[in-house]
Structure 1
Amino acid sequence: MAARLTSFLCWEHHVWRHFLEALCGAPPVLAAVQGEAPGAMYEFTDESKTKLFLGSTKSCYPPPAFWVDGALAREVVVGAAAVFGALASPHQQRGGRGDGSNRVDALGRLLTTVLRHMAPELSLGMRSDGYVRARDLLGLSLQTFAKAPLKSHSVDEIREAVRRDNKQRFSLLEEDGELLIRANQGHTVTTVASESLLKPILSADEVSVCVHGTYRKNLDSILQHGLKRMERLHVHFSSGLPSDEGVISGMRRSANILIHLDVHKALQDGMKLYISDNKVILTEGFDGVVPVKYLEKMESWPGRPPIPFQR
C-alpha cells in the first residue's frame, strides 16, 4: 500500500480527525496544517507512522495527487474507509477475525463517530432529535477498525453495542416496527436541535453538581476566554465528581482540574442548560462560550485544593 493517501474533500479538520480515529483505531496526530479549514490541507500521521494527506478542492497547497471534486465526497469516503481500516494495527485487526467482543466494541466506536460527527456527509436522514434508522446505518459502505464492514452487522449487534457501552452514549427508539438510534451528546453536526435532543434544566434545584473536567495546561486560556464549546455544539459538564458512584460520563477520568458552574447565576442571566439521557449537563453558553463570571470555583483533582481566580 502506498504510504500516502490524498483526498480532496470540503470537510473541516475535526470531521477528519473523528473519521480517522474511528477507522484507524487511534486518534491521529495532526502533523501539519496549511491554510484555514474548510479548504485546508492537513497532514495526519497514524499510529503506524503512515502519513495521510487530506484536503479540499479549495486547498491553496494541493499535494501531488489526483483531483477529486468535493461533490463526490460520499464516494471518496467509501474508498477512504477501506484504506483507513486497513491501516489498523495487527492487534486491532484481530477484532475482525471471529472475536465477537472486539467486533461489537468496534461497531460501537464507529457508531459514535458517525452519529456525532458524520451524518450529513453520509446522507443519513438524521432528525432534529438525533435519531437515524438503524437499517440506514447498516447500509453504509464503511468498515470498523476491526475490519468488519458495517453491512456485515445486524440490528441485534447494534442493540448489543448500545447495551455494552459503559458511558451510555446511545439511545434506542422503536417506531412503527423500526429501530432508531442516536448519540445522546457530543455532537458537532448542526442537524440536531438542543431542545429536541435534550431535556432543559429550568431550576438550579435540579442540579446538585455541575462540573467541567479539564487539564492544567488549558487553565490560562480558560481564565482569559472562558469555557469554549470548540467544534462541538455544547460545553460539557458532569453531574458528579469523578469519584462519585453512578457518574458515567461528562468528563475524562484523567482530568486534573475541576471547574464548577454557578448554575443559579447562569440560569438567572438566561443561559440555557440541558441534561442528556446519560446525565451529562450541556450548554451552548453565550455564542458558544461560558464566560468566567459564571464559574463558581476551581480546584485541582484529586485532593481538591482550591485554585484562586478572578470572576
Structure 2
Amino acid sequence: MERAELRGQAGQGTGRRRHRGHASQDPDIRLSKALSYILRHGAAELGLVIGKDGFLDVEEVLRCPQCRHYTEKDIQRVVETNNKQRFTLRRHPETGMLQIRANQGHSLQVEELELIPITEAAGNIPEQAVHGTYRRHWHSIKGEGLRCMSRRHIHLAPGLPGQGGVPSGIRSDCELAIFIELGKAIKDGIPFYFSTNRVILTPGNEDGVLPPKYFQRVLQLKPSRCVLPLD
C-alpha cells in the first residue's frame, strides 16, 4: 500500500480524491511513509545506492521528490517521535554524514542489518510470537502457511497491539493474530531474529514459508475476540 501511494505521489496527476487526502494528511505521517518506501523498497528505482547495512545519507534522501519539502530536522523529529521505532539515525564513522536506515521490512537486498539471533542457547526466546493479518487472507494462510511475499522476512511481534513492549511488528487494525510455536520452529532449524526495534523476523524455511504446523492458535481480534479453529 505504501509503495502504491508513493509512486502515485511522485507521478503527479493521480486524481482529485487522492490529492485531497494527501494534502490533508499530517506532514510527519507523509514523511514517515516516504522514508519507509525509499529505505525499504524504492531506493534503486530512485537512483540511490543504499549501503549493505541499509543506511543512506539523509542528504540523498532529501533530494528525492517525496522529501524535497522537508529538512534534516524534520527527519530527525520523525525518527525520534515514531512510536513504532521504524528508523535508526547515525553519523557515518568516516564522513560524519547523517544517515538513516529502516530497521526492518525491506524488499531491497540489505545484507548487514543489526539482527540478533533468537536461540535456546542465548535464552532470548520470547514468550509470545504473533503475526497479525486479516480475515480475507486466513483461508490461504491456513492451508499454505505464512510467506515472506515481497519482503525478505516474515514479521512477528512479541505480543498483541497495545501490550507493553510491543511498539511494532503488528498493525493495530489487524483482525487476526496468529500465535507461533517459536521453540518448535527453532528446533526444526528455522531461524528467527530480533530487529533493532524488537520486531521478530524470520525468512521461513528454504521456500520462504513458515508452515501451518507451527501455528499454536489463531485469535480473532475484531469485531469480537474468539479463537478460530486451525483445521
- TM-score, structure 2 as length reference: 0.86
- The amino acid across from 2:22 in the alignment is Q
| Distance of 2:17 and 2:54 partners within structure 1 | 30
Q: 2:116 aligns with which of 199, 203, 210?
A: 199
Gaps of 5+ in 1: 1-16, 26-79, 96-101, 144-149
Q: 1:272 aligns with which of 168, 191, 194?
A: 191
Asked if 1:309 corresponds to 2:230, the answer is: yes
Identity %: 36
| Distance of 1:223 and 1:82 partners within structure 2 | 40
Structure 1 residues 155, 300: CA separation in 2 closer, same or farther (over 3 Å shift)?
A: same
| Distance of 1:85 and 1:129 partners within structure 2 | 37
| Distance of 1:223 and 1:151 partners within structure 2 | 44
Asked if 1:224 corresponds to 2:130, the answer is: no
- The amino acid across from 2:36 in the alignment is T
Alpha carbons 1:211, 1:239 under 8 Å: kept: yes
How far is 1:256 from its partner?
2.2
Structure 1 residues 113, 298: CA separation in 2 closer, same or farther (over 3 Å shift)?
A: same
Structure 1 residues 282, 305: CA separation in 2 closer, same or farther (over 3 Å shift)?
A: same
Counterpart of 1:259 in structure 2 is 178
How far is 1:213 from its partner?
1.2
Matched residues, number:
225
SS at the partner of 1:192? coil
What's the RMSD between the two structures over aligned residues? 2.4
Counterpart of 1:92 in structure 2 is 22
| Distance of 1:280 and 1:234 partners within structure 2 | 11
| Distance of 1:129 and 1:251 partners within structure 2 | 24
Structure 1 residues 85, 219: CA separation in 2 closer, same or farther (over 3 Å shift)?
A: closer
How far is 1:24 from its partner?
4.7
Counterpart of 1:55 in structure 2 is none
Alpha carbons 1:272, 1:285 under 8 Å: kept: yes
SS at the partner of 1:222? helix
| Distance of 1:238 and 1:277 partners within structure 2 | 13
Asked if 1:293 corresponds to 2:213, the answer is: yes
How far is 1:205 from its partner?
4.2
Larger Rg: 1
| Distance of 1:272 and 1:290 partners within structure 2 | 10
| Distance of 2:21 and 2:217 partners within structure 1 | 43
How far is 1:288 from its partner?
1.3
Alpha carbons 1:24, 1:87 under 8 Å: kept: no
How far is 1:83 from its partner?
4.1
SS at the partner of 2:128? coil
SS at the partner of 1:89? helix
Alpha carbons 2:103, 2:113 under 8 Å: kept: no
| Distance of 2:16 and 2:32 partners within structure 1 | 18
Counterpart of 1:35 in structure 2 is none
Counterpart of 1:174 in structure 2 is 91
- The amino acid across from 2:23 in the alignment is Q
Counterpart of 1:159 in structure 2 is 76
Asked if 1:134 corresponds to 2:58, the answer is: yes
SS at the partner of 2:90? strand
